[in-house]
Amino acid sequence: MKSFDVVVIGAGPGGYIAAIRCAQLGLSTACVESWLNDEGKPALGGTCLNVGCIPSKALLDSSHHFSHIKHEAGSHGINVPGITIDVNKMIERKNKIVQTLTQGIAGLFRKNKVEWLQGHAKLISGDQIEVAPVGEGSAEPYVVTAKNIIIATGSVPVNIPPAPVDDELIVDSAGALKFNDVPRRLGVIGAGVIGLELGSVWSRLGSQVIILEALDVFLGPVDRQIANEAEKVFRKQGLDIRLGAKVTGTGSNNREVTVTYEDTKGKQQLIVDKLIVAVGRKPNIEGLGATDVGLNIDEQGFINVDNNTLTNLANVYAIGDVVRGPMLAHKASEEGIAIAERIAGKPGHMNYDVIPWVVYTWPEIAWVGKTEQDLKADSTEYQTGVFPFAASGRARAMGETTGMVKMLSDANTDRVLGVHIFGPSASELITEAVIAMEFDASAEDIARTIHAHPSLSEAMHEAALAVDKRALHI
């Protein structure tokens, strides 16, 4: 029977990073992964690389180029008559990126001597795992032992009874990444991050997109000022966002889907060519044998862990989407690094207060820390600095003047409590705020830091100055 210092279950951004870091630290490490790609071949990378972060961003980038050329290029004096889309080529490009990156992880495993056990893992005890090989010509199940186990089995899309996914007309987020043409009318259930991103892709390519959201509030967790601004902009872009619209049923023939929903006016009906169900994700513990070995699971199906991602079983840890906290790839990866280091006897570091969030619409929305509504609810005394991109020289030069940077700092100490960006490249700009908060910086620290001119980052500088009411360009 093979035996390892660490066996990681799942090779998404939580698991594969944990495995590489364990191996770097000299621990003998295996990673069990059961993913089979559309060609039936085993693949590493989990949701993020195969059907999540990376393929969605590939299509967001392609569709952004199309939309930019169609609607904005003319203002730069660039005329592109007769612009067309080749959806199959766009999807092929996305598939190639996924293939390159997932194969890259296999290469990193070889380099770091992480043994990839291709199969489905089932816990037999706190230190034994049964691996059932998957794919063509699968071998018999076998058992491995581990001094430490890291569970990183991730999450799967939530299904709702009124809209069962048929992978033809009604699809989940994975299905929405492989349409072979642009649906004329596209329904999306859920105006969360995934619904907005996928809705944006197909809207930019020409679909008429209707997003049905059960809640009355748009992007509830986002700072209100930013969310309100974003809602206005997305509506102007053509996204038909219907709030307070609870989907109650669907019916489909071979060509179109009829969606019924209820809003304040009563029963409504909508006919679309494709429907994306993007109502959230749930932890994945299917077939893991979690309850058989006595793992504590909460009522929503998450594996219970302490602050160090230790479960109730000795030397069994769980990280990423299968445990509490934001379902984000970088959160999963950082938990993976931290636990690998703790297993190796080092002080692993994980700061849950400073995790950046991004919605990859255009403009992008990115934030870290507290929102203004959080601070009001906590009765924290705070001060605010806002700087609009319309006043940024670089943003003007780019033709990207929508949105703003908003900084919130403690009224007494000036410590930065939250930064919220709606604007071009917000996903990149937010890192400055993340670093500032990680180092407990004040808004004044950012205000006194020299930012390159002309750059979008000057908006961060000006927002910091605005906290002290001394912004220079507004």
Residues forming the site for ligand FAD (CB under 6 A): 9-15, 32-35, 46-48, 52-53, 56, 120-121, 152-155, 173, 194, 284, 287-288, 320-321, 327-330, 332, 360
Nearest of 274, 293, 30 to residue 152 by alpha carbon: 30
Among residues 68, 451, 453, 461, which one is catalytic? Answer: 453
> Sign of the CA dihedral 185, 191, 194, 200?
positive
**Smallest distance, Å, CB 132 to ligand FAD?**
8
Binders of ligand AMP among residues 178 to 197 (CB under 6 A) are 189-194
Whether the Cβ atoms of residue 123 and residue 129 lie closer than 8 Å to each other? yes
Q: What binding mask, one character per residue, do residues 273-312 give for ligand AMP by CB under 6 A, x or -?
A: -----xxx--------------------------------
Alpha-carbon distance of 347 to 337, in angstroms, equals 11
CA separation, residue 301 to residues 48, 282, 456 (Å): 20, 7, 42
Strand, helix or coil for residue 81: coil
**Smallest distance, Å, CB 198 to ligand AMP?**
11
By the rule CB under 6 A, 174 interacts with ligand AMP? no
By the rule CB under 6 A, 241 interacts with ligand AMP? no
Whether the Cβ atoms of residue 474 and residue 391 lie closer than 8 Å to each other? yes
Alpha-carbon distance of 44 to 382, in angstroms, equals 45
Give the phi and the psi of residue 450 in degrees, each rounded to 5. -75, 125
Q: Tokens 């035996």 identify what position?
A: 3
Q: 12 or 385: whose CB is closer to ligand FAD?
A: 12
Q: 170 or 332: whose CB is closer to ligand FAD?
A: 332
For the beta carbon of residue 312, count every other beta carbon within 10 angstroms: 14
By the rule CB under 6 A, 212 interacts with ligand AMP? yes
Alpha helix positions (H), 344-453: 372-377, 393-398, 426-438, 443-447
**Smallest distance, Å, CB 360 to ligand FAD?**
6
**Smallest distance, Å, CB 369 to ligand AMP?**
19
Q: 73 or 217: whose CB is closer to ligand AMP?
A: 217
For the beta carbon of residue 287, count every other beta carbon within 10 angstroms: 12
Nearest of 375, 305, 5, 47 to residue 151 by alpha carbon: 305
Run of H or E including 177: none
Strand, helix or coil for residue 224: helix
11 is in the binding site of which of ligand AMP, ligand FAD, none (Cβ under 5 to 8 A by kind)? ligand FAD
215 is in the binding site of which of ligand AMP, ligand FAD, none (Cβ under 5 to 8 A by kind)? ligand AMP
The tokens for 441 are 């910086």
**Smallest distance, Å, CB 468 to ligand FAD?**
33
13 is in the binding site of which of ligand FAD, ligand AMP, none (Cβ under 5 to 8 A by kind)? ligand FAD
Closest-by-Cβ residue to ligand AMP is: 192
Greatest distance between any 2 Cα atoms in the chain? 70
105 is in the binding site of which of ligand AMP, ligand FAD, none (Cβ under 5 to 8 A by kind)? none
473 is in the binding site of which of ligand AMP, ligand FAD, none (Cβ under 5 to 8 A by kind)? none
42 is in the binding site of which of ligand FAD, ligand AMP, none (Cβ under 5 to 8 A by kind)? none
The answer to whether residue 453 is catalytic is: yes
Which of 97, 214, 243, 390 is the binder for ligand AMP (CB under 6 A)? 214
- DSSP state, residue 472: S
Kindly give, in sequence order, each residue whose CB lies less than 8 Å from that of residue 59, ignoring residues fewer than 6 positions away: 90, 91, 94, 177, 201
189 is in the binding site of which of ligand AMP, ligand FAD, none (Cβ under 5 to 8 A by kind)? ligand AMP
By the rule CB under 6 A, 126 interacts with ligand AMP? no
Q: Which residues contact ligand AMP by CB under 6 A?
A: 160, 189-194, 212-215, 246-247, 278-280
Question: Which positions are catalytic?
Answer: 453
